[in-house]
Amino acid sequence: MSFQDDVAILVQEGTIGVCWLVGDDQKIYYTYGDWAVDPLIPFNSFKSQDPIVGIDFGGGLRFTTIAMTPDRLITSNLGGQGHIMVAKCPKWAGCVITWSPADVEHRYAYASAARLAAKVQ
């Protein structure tokens, strides 16, 4: 199964958390589930030219959608576990969008995930 196929399934199901982060080493890190529990593992050294370099989405309220940009971090939901990870990594900045199936931000996050996956090849 390809990276793009995996992303497509996650977007369709909307029930499992997934996270992309680009560290100082410019590697993309990929993990399922709870950020605070599951260790981040190197998925690949692929790079993305998209300004959105990290996204986390899930089907429960404990997940917060995170679209990371080079120069800002805007939090709209302080309940997400993802905020803990970002706070521990001050060199990573991001833009946080609250998870809600009815919101425009919800559709934007999916589109962003698809764009990121398409650029990682």
Question: How would DSSP label each residue in the chain?
Answer: --HHHHHHHHHHH--S-EEEEE-TT--EEEEES-TTTSPPEEEE-----SS----EE-SSTT--EEE-BTTB-B-S-TT-THHHHHHT-TT---EEE---TTSHHHHHHHHHHHHHHHH--
Token match 């940009």: residue? 69
pTM of the model: 0.20
- If one counts the domains in the chain, the total is 1
Structure-model confidence comparison of residues 108 and 60, the more confident one: 108
Give the confidence band of 39 by pLDDT, cuts at 50, 70, 90. Answer: very low
What is the model's pLDDT at position 38? 30
Host domain of residue 19: 3-119
What is the model's pLDDT at position 112? 52
pLDDT (average), residues 69-95: 33
Average pLDDT, rounded, for the chain: 37
